[in-house]
Structure 1
């Protein structure tokens, strides 16, 4: 275990009704008068009301109309290019995804709008996605990322000048996917995962010390990081890991590692936790509101996230602390 860099002294209240919308690293907050109202999820009942208020329009066309307000929630301080993605999930809820960029870091740390969307659905417990509308044609990176989900071939992609659905086989024919790396069937992304992960004795000692200090936020973050590792999607390397962000207002937001058969499109647990934080309104004034990141990962795993997270924090949240809690196979 190692802890680096001091705590941030600033504080800020978290919000769930308004969201940042700017191309800067410290985005301003805008009021959204669209059906989304600055939210990253539109409940099923509101979606049905929206459909009823647009007679003569198909669900795909109405979904397509939400792209513009969704894109205003993006955080692209490097490119200035706002991506909005909107999906109708199996539950009937509609979810939003946007692109996220980290100034002062390599471009491959960016979160693509379609990636954000899939993680948003995952965090909400969705098991399927019916249709996805996005600002522009998904890049190859995202097409590959969506190859990991159950029923990937049935997912409708909507983009371009019309709302005519396209499918993954159209966008990525003869693709490399999960079946190319695994001979036996296994739970795909959005299906339930159960990984045998537990704390090491060193991590248990750190947890006990946190309890003696009365650090409830750290205890919650550590618990969530472990839970994320236990349910993360890492079928190829089995390097199960999870992370939790503690904000300066005391909020805790977590995410788990998500692998791709193509490796490069994989998403770190920190990036997944950033999605959770932005979705919940936990970082309204930018990444400087990250007070601490708690990472749960196996110290002997061939895939490690601590070094990259440390570099990211040095660039976007230099006052934040990184705590790595080692795990073991349960």
Structure 2
């Protein structure tokens, strides 16, 4: 984002002094967020609120033209940016919401428990349901329009993982020992279908971004690995021009596949894709 679009020169200057770059960050670690809060004399929540235009600058919205910026804050006071991403072709369901983008960004970096989400617009019901999958959903703080809410206030009498007998809701992804592509697929959070799927974007042999499947108890808000992958590319300032091929890794016994979804996008973007199956070991 250019300085004249940010309209917050103090924040822009502080970011440059702390990060030593003019590039919009996709996350801030604990030390960086603490340094910025000290320099700007603000709290972490206030910092996140000021950074919402930065988060929204990552939005890709060819259909709605409504840019949502969201920032997830974990218990270590790390900030993870996210934005909505819409596919230019196909039905309206081909879209990733800003809150989902921020949450996956946090999960992919093995963040500690997410304690707050700061958003530049009121979250839709779809996103409120997606947030309800988190392990600490009852204590999750949501801030928008300069007001703080707890998720149960925004989603009363909710339907959650416990209603389908899930005793271990979404907390983190099992990435500590992830080395092979199949390891990232196995890290999928899929307690309802037990589906294991992960997508990767490569430039030559260089991995540019990855994603895995995330389910929701209400099924519909489950997170498409394709949309998450495209969001992760965007958050890392990587255009599709950089991508030379896509890969999809899935367990051979999955109840359904994301192969057609990725193939449709590969044809649209004129990028090659390969599909790999694996068995449990």
Q: Could you list the runs of 5+ residues in structure 1 that have no partner in the other structure?
A: 1-17, 23-31, 195-219
Deviation at 1:168, TM superposition (A): 0.9
Query: Is 1:282 matched up with 2:267?
Result: no
Report what 2:18 is aligned to: none
What residue is the counterpart of 1:321 in the other structure? 272
CA change 1:102–1:192 in 2 (3 A) is closer
Structure showing greater relative contact order (alpha-carbon pairs closer than 8 Å, 6 or more residues apart)? 1
Give 3-state SS (helix, strand or coil) of 2:244's partner. strand
2:31 to 45, 55, 59: 45
- Unmatched runs of 5 consecutive residues or more in structure 2: 6-10, 16-22
Question: CA offsets, 1:106-155, max 9 Å, x none?
Answer: 22121111000001001111131121110101111111111111111111
Aligned twin of 1:242: 198
Whole-angstrom distance in 1 between the partners of 2:259 and 2:101: 21
- 8 A Cα contact 2:44 2:77, kept in partner: no
CA contact (8 A) 1:148 1:178 kept: yes
1:310 aligns with 2:266: no
CA distance in 2, matches of 1:41, 1:227: 24
Matches within 5 A, 1:1-330: 33=12, 37-55=23-41, 57-160=42-145, 162=146, 164-182=147-165, 185-186=167-168, 188-193=169-174, 223-224=180-181, 226-247=182-203, 250-283=206-239, 287-315=240-268, 317-318=269-270, 320-330=271-281
Larger radius of gyration: 1
Partners of 1:248 and 1:289 within 8 A in 2: no
Task: Tell me how far apart the structure 1 counterparts of residues 34 and 127 of structure 2 sit (CA, whole Å).
Answer: 28
Contact between 1:296 and 1:327, CA under 8 Å: does it hold in 2? yes
Q: 1:87 to 1:35 in 2, by over 3 A?
A: farther
Over the aligned positions, Cα root-mean-square deviation in angstroms equals: 2.5
Q: What do the CA deviations read for 1:42-89 (whole angstroms, capped 9, x no partner)?
A: 22222112222344x544333211112221222212222111111221
Aligned 8 A contact 1:123 1:276 in 2: no
- The separation in 2 between residues aligned to 1:53 and 1:254, in whole angstroms, is 34
User: What is the SS of the residue equivalent to 1:191?
Assistant: coil
Range 113-122 or range 149-158, more displaced: 149-158
Secondary structure class of the residue paired with 1:126: coil
TM (norm. structure 2) is 0.85
Cα distance in 2 for residues equivalent to 1:42 and 1:114? 17
Cα distance in 1 for residues equivalent to 2:205 and 2:91: 28
Q: Would the aligned equivalents of 2:14 and 2:40 in 1 still touch at CA under 8 Å?
A: no
CA contact (8 A) 2:58 2:234 kept: no
Distance in structure 2 (CA, Å) of the matches to 1:292 and 1:274: 13
